[in-house]
Structures are given as C-alpha cells and as structure tokens.
Amino acid sequence: MTPDEYCQNKAAQSGSSFYYAFLFLPPERRRAITALYAFCREVDDIVDESTEPSVARMKLAWWRTQIDQLYAGHAEHPVMQALAPHIHVFGLSAERLHAVVEGMEMDLDQSRYNDWPALRKYCWHAAGVVGELSASIFGYTQPETLVYAEKLGLAFQLTNIIRDVGDDARRGRIYLPVEDMQNFNVTAAEIIDRQHSDRFEALMRFQTERARQCYREAVQALPEADRRAQRPGLMMAAIYHALLQEIERDNWQVLDQRISLTPIRKFWLAWKIWVGGGRGLIKRLSQ
C-alpha cells in the first residue's frame, strides 16, 4: 500500500463530510487534502481511543517529532510521506500542524470550558487552523480568504459540538460553556443523565445561533476572487449547515442519539455547490 492509498483508505473509512468535497478536486490538490485529513484523523483518534492519558500524551509527542522530521525531509509515517510533496507547494506550515496536535492535547488537559472565548480558542486548534490549512490547498489570492476559512472551521466545530453533546458527555467531556449552561439553568448532571428539557432546548438554540453567526461571518469574509477555488469548503459548509438545520428541526434530540445526513444527501449537496459555484449558499448563509 502506498502512502497515498493509506490516506485514501483513512479518509474513506471515516465517513466524514469532508470526504465528499475531496472527490471534486484535481488530483494533486485531492492527494494533498486527503493527506492532511488523514493526519488530523490520526491525531484525533489517539485522544478518542486511548483510555490512558499518559499514553495518549506520548503518542501525540511522537507525532510532534514526525512533524519536525517532515520539514527536515525525513518523513517516516505513511501520512507524512503522503503530505511531504505538498507542504511547500501549498505553503503548509509546521506551526499550523503543531497547532492541530495542541488542540488534541487540550482534550487531555480539560473537559470543560468556562466561556465562549475559552471554547473559541479550543475550536481554533481543533478546526479553525485546519480550515486555514485546507484553504491553502484549495488555493487563494486574498488574505481575507484565510479569515473565511478560520471562521468556517469554527462553524464546523460548533456544529460537531452540538451534534455530539450526548456522546461527548458519556466520554466525560462537555464542551458547552459553563457560563452558558448557568445562564440557561442546565446542569452537567442533566446532560450526563440525558434529561431533555425546555431549558436544554433554549441552551441549544443559543449555541445554534452562535454557530450560524460563524457561518455568516465566514461567507461574508470570502472574497469573490477566491470563491471558485474555495468551492470544496463551501461544499462542506452546505453539508454541515444542513446537518445543523436537521438537528434544530429535531428539537436538539442529541442527548441519546447522533443525528446525521445520508451519504447520498451529502454527495448531492456537494455536487450542487460544485456545479453552481456556491452563490445561492453564500446568499442563504449571509442572511
């Protein structure tokens, strides 16, 4: 199995919405974004699958050495070997890759966030910086496009947090800011015990509007000159925003189930953006 095939398998097996956006890219960009995604999956799986934090820290430290070796020209892991040809072509910095690992380390250090600024910092490491790296691979000419990509990453991460409230709580993590939970009089015990209430719905409605604001700010920051190149990100925005709408229509029944879109619907949403260029989506999300 070649390094590219390894990354392709990693992406395909995940079932992620990101995979559908990759399908429409030219070969070199598709290989680059698939390798980047595989890297993110590798380090994320360490935290999700490790039961011993000290072991997870050691594995993440090893990945930090892999990043350094990648930029020194000595890539060892298949993911890094697949990423190696693209780091200079697309301007992928070691600092941003290290920031991704730091986000995983944050999951080992804390399971609660006091307020939105603290959660926002985590979301940048978990997804905002990945948005910036992705935008570099897709191609851009205006610096504002990185602002768009960072805010879109925040929107995706908030959507994930809303979707996974129940799953995350069972793993000992509640990402909803403590300040917001106190304002809506929702306790951690209620979330862990899967107690759905009007107060919980009000809390989730507030989080949903925060996510929508991130989508809004993202598309408003995207320069027209880079819209066509950034269609893969807009495809993901279409999929994630549709998921957010589904969750809202289901009255945020996320404590005991995981709401998702079917693969065919994800593909259809991605295809519409690729063909139509995303103008309709940008208009909808801007409102």
Give the Cα separation of 31 and 50 in Å (integer): 28
122-287: which CATH topology?
A: Farnesyl Diphosphate Synthase (1.10.600)
Residue 11: both structure tokens together: 């992406």
* pLDDT tens digits, one per residue of 29-77: 999 999 999 999 999 999 888 778 899 999 999 999 999 999 999 989 9
Asked if domains 1-109 and 122-287 share a fold, the reply is yes
Find the DSSP H helices in 92-143.
Answer: 94-109, 116-123, 129-138
Please give the angle made by the CA atoms of 275, 277 and 279, to the nearest 5 degrees. 130
Summarize the confidence of residues 188-210 as an average pLDDT.
97
pLDDT grade for 94, boundaries at 50, 70 and 90: very high
pLDDT tens by residue, 120-157: 999 999 999 999 999 999 999 999 999 999 999 999 99
The answer to whether residue 80 scores a pLDDT higher than 90 is yes
Give the per-residue pLDDT at 91: 95
Q: What is the DSSP letter of 173?
A: -
Among 190, 205, 112, 127, smallest CA distance to 160 is for 127
Tell me the pTM: 0.93
Closest CA to 258 of 149, 185, 171: 171
- Quick: pLDDT tens for 220-269: 999 999 999 999 999 999 999 999 999 999 999 999 999 999 989 999 99
User: The domain at 1-109 falls in which architecture?
Assistant: Orthogonal Bundle (1.10)
pLDDT over threshold 90, residue 15: no
| In the chain, where the domains are located | 1-109, 122-287
